[in-house]
Structure 1
Amino acid sequence: MKRCFISRAGALLLFIFSSLASFPLQAQEKVQLKEVKIEGNLRVEEDGIRLHVKSRAGELFDPPTVDQDVKSIYRMGFFDDVRAELSPDGVLTYAVKEKPYIREVKIVGNSELSREKIEAAFGVNPRTVLDRDKVSEGIEKVKKLYTDQGYVNAQIEYGTSLVENNQAVVNLTVDEGKRLLIQKIAFEGNKAFSDSELKGLMATKEKWFLSFITNRGVLDQDILTNDVAVLSAHYYDHGFVDHKIDEPVVLRRRDGIEMVIRVDEGEQYRVGKVELGGDLIDDADKLLKKVQLTTGQIFSGGRLRGDITNLSDMYSNKGFAFVQVDPRTKVNSQDKTVDVALVISQGPPVYFNRVMVAGNTKTRDKVIRRE
């Protein structure tokens, strides 16, 4: 005899009508709510749930409002299922099914990493609500913890077992695998720089005889990604403006890891025209003497960054604290040159109003200001 709609994950899924097909839909829509009830909660306080309910006794039954109530209750994060049911006499009931409460986290199979380290990375603790999304995130963090120690083949599996009072035990099973370190880092396509020179720029290193102490040779994807950026900056600073560095290929061998980094150096470019524009506080030729980039030299991104800093400092010392130097480059592929234009926006000048002196007990303010 009830009409109910069921919602999971906050989405309205189903309307079920009673066998009273002759009961007019318009009349059902105009049912006045006699009571709004909460059922099924064990640990979550009813008052806390009601904070998320807008349907009120004495008001007319409103499906969109009830739908939002169901979604809002679900978004609290404490429930696996939320249902709303309306009885013919106007009693609206929100029936909730609480997520299990974690009684214990069990970890088996670990020998190289301590339980404390794994628990800290996992981040899912007893006496909290079982959130499967957080469990999945925690497992990925545990895998990264193992990878950062060289156990790149580590596998983590989990399961849950329900016990009394809607409580759960979370079981983590660890297969650490064998520790693999980087045996070799090789480059392909590099001509301007040797393998040893490029490897010297990288934080990722090949293993050595003290790796068991220093962790040298461990593969860390975040560090490796930064290494690729460092290599790219090195090529750019030496005029290879259209170079490409592929994502490193990691080959897992029986006794270790081999890494291959493919480089397409492209052509080396030189500096073409160098110009200044925008707000100039001095003659352009005089300002250009402060610029390191000169026509004909090998283009360098590092020198360009240095020129931006020098011009910014020069303007700041003249009172233009908000100066902006916009570097505009034009790559000429035919003659292998890069034209550079530094466009300056000086911004408003900044003036000192008052100079406040504090902490001086023996020297007068005016003496300090004079100095």
Structure 2
Amino acid sequence: MNHWLRTGSLFFALLAGSLVVSAGARAQEEEDPDAEIEEAGEEAEADAESEADAEADAEAEADEAPEEEDAPEEPEEEEEAYEPVEDEEEGLDVPRTLCHGRRVRRIRIRGNRRVSDDDVTATIRLRSGSTCRDSAVARDAQALWNQGFYDDIVVEAEERGSDRIDLTFRVRERPAIGRITFEGNDNVEQADLVEVVDLTEGGILSVPTVREQVTAIRDKYAEEGFFLARVSYRLRRMENNQVDVVFQVDEGERVTVRRVRFVGNRHLADGELQSVMRTRQSGFFSFISNDDRFNRAHFEEDTTRLQAFYYDRGYLAMRVGTPRIDLSADRTYIDVTIPIEEGPRFRIGRLVVREVDD
């Protein structure tokens, strides 16, 4: 209502402005009644002179065209920025509900199974005997929704006399998670997948959280070398308002190690280091042994093998950095780069053997 009043007041202000301009013009005309006669005479003389000069101007223009002078630019009017004025107390007049302004006689909870009535009433702030306000009902409904336990919340009001009402909160609970299962995981153990999934059997189902687990499972497969793995899920409804969450995995092929490179190995050649590793880059006979397939367990073992290889040669402070794995554009090959910090090489200066008496 107030917005319409605002628009109306602006409209009337514009009308008032036009009326002011019109009134000023009429006032000027009333001040000098002979102004119209004098102006008419002056206009007649001006017309005669303009007709006489027209021919001369035409001849002058034919001989020589005068240079046009640039008209002085009028200063641009500064644009007035529009700043909306917001007033919380002024706005559309929204019709009140049956609840607003009446006293609450009783509050009932309906539709809840796992969540007790006491838990629901502890969340809302309206109480029997309090005055009901539409804003209070919206606040309590939002508080229940934010708990994440419900798919739907409806608040109903029933008249009880002229100034009393009964409030009913009808909720529809989200299902609980019955079981979490995996299908198609031939190369990754189910126990390893359960570790990365942030779901609990018996917990409240949250579909956005289930979607997040798809990414976590895919990342786990990428660690194992299955960069082409595809993961989806389905929800299977069970009894007692429960659902089973089933993750379906299409593992795809394990990627091939195209190249293994070392950075920082100044004293030992790449070939020497590659000879002690189980992770091998692609070669002519790779299709026979399949030793060029990336395997996370083998790759972690290779770190220990490299350290032992350096220790045997006196590099006791040697350290293997965090490897970098680059995936090819077609997601079928990876290039592995292993940083090496060799450190100093230690040698035996003197060896002394002594006999120790018992």
Task: State the TM-score, normalizing by the size of structure 1.
Answer: 0.47
Higher Cα radius of gyration? 2
Structure that is richer in strand per residue: 1
Report which of the two has the higher share of helix: 2
